[in-house]
């Protein structure tokens, strides 16, 4: 059985990093890795991603209270492993990096119904997050790549990925090798942020209308890292608020309106 480890190329980094020109959002956490496979054979590295982020969002009007927004993401992704003349190649890779774990200030993620929702910008909020990758290896001919389309899971980018767990006949072959087996490696991170300390508050313009919000800027967040909580699980799907959609996230259109 292959042995899987990682080489960290960036991080783990628990800190606010400014938005780079090529990034969609500033990051609170980064971990970029390269897969290492010992005793490799032709097949696939498979990773099951579980992520949740829990927000507490404070409105700036007395009539509106703090509300919760829960972001849950759960999907499967894979990398091709080939061995030729004693050399192991793992693709896709870019600058030796196979995978990126990030927690960004603005995140889009699908709800349980598959609809992609945009969660609140973390600026002005506080919350906590967990991110876990459970890693398997499936030797040829155990994985059916046709059931893992590129971009099949929105959060996996261009990787071959899927939202449903792979089973024999759907993602895995109908033969003895068509199974995941045990978890070979775990990547588990957690942290929190508090980005609610105001720097300044500017009154709204008169033409914004009655009840318009003030313009608020915030100081840099307090970001803390913690060990992944043992036996914590990923139960955010069970957390609901009165305005929360069935998919587990609060759409922008259903945020409390001002005025």
* Segment (H or E) for 168: strand 167-168
Beta carbons within 10 angstroms of residue 13's beta carbon: 16
Per-residue pLDDT, 201 = 82
What does the angle CA 250 – CA 252 – CA 254 come to, to the nearest 5 degrees?
65
What does the angle CA 230 – CA 79 – CA 184 come to, to the nearest 5 degrees?
35
Per-residue model confidence as pLDDT tens digits over 127-163: 888 888 999 999 999 999 999 999 898 889 889 999 9
> Is the predicted pLDDT of residue 94 greater than 60, yes or no?
yes
User: In whole numbers, what is the pLDDT of the chain averaged over residues?
Assistant: 78
Q: Going by C-beta distance under 8 Å and a sequence separation of 6 or more, which residues neighbour residue 160?
A: 77, 78, 145, 148, 149, 150, 152
Per-residue model confidence as pLDDT tens digits over 209-258: 666 667 788 888 888 766 555 545 544 444 343 344 444 444 333 333 33
Query: How confident is the model over 16-27, as a mean pLDDT?
Result: 64
Per-residue model confidence as pLDDT tens digits over 60-90: 544 444 566 677 778 999 999 999 998 999 9
Query: What are the residue ranges spanned by the domains of the chain?
Result: 3-246
Kindly give the pairing relationship between strand 108-110 and strand 116-118.
antiparallel
Question: What's the pTM?
Answer: 0.80
Are 13 and 29 in contact by the 8 Å Cβ rule? The answer is yes
> Is the predicted pLDDT of residue 167 greater than 90, yes or no?
yes
Give dist(CA 206, CA 39) in Å, integer: 69
């Amino acid at each position: 059985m292959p042995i899987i480890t990682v080489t960290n190329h960036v991080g783990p980094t628990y800190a606010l990093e400014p938005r780079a020109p090529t990034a969609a959002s500033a990051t609170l956490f980064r971990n970029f890795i390269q897969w290492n496979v010992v005793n490799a054979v032709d097949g696939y590295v498979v990773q099951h991603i579980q992520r949740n982020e829990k927000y507490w969002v404070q409105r700036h009007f007395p009539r509106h209270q703090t509300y919760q927004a829960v972001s849950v993401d759960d999907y499967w992704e894979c990398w091709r492993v080939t061995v030729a003349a004693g050399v192991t190649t793992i693709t896709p890779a870019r600058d030796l990096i196979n995978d990126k774990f990030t927690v960004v200030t603005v995140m889009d993620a699908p709800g349980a119904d598959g609809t992609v929702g945009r969660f609140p910008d973390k600026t002005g909020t506080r919350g906590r997050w967990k991110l876990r990758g459970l890693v398997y290896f499936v030797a040829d001919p155990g994985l059916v790549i046709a059931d893992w389309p590129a971009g099949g899971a929105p959060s996996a980018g261009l990787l071959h990925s899927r939202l449903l767990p792979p089973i024999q006949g759907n993602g895995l072959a109908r033969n003895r090798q068509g199974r995941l087996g045990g978890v070979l490696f775990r990547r588990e991170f957690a942290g929190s942020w508090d980005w609610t300390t105001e720097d300044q508050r500017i009154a709204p313009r008169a033409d914004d209308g009655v009840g318009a919000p003030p313009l608020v800027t915030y100081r840099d967040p307090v970001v803390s890292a913690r060990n992944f909580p043992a036996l914590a699980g990923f139960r955010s799907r069970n957390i609901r608020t009165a305005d929360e959609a069935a998919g587990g996230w609060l759409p922008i259109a259903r945020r409390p309106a001002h005025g």
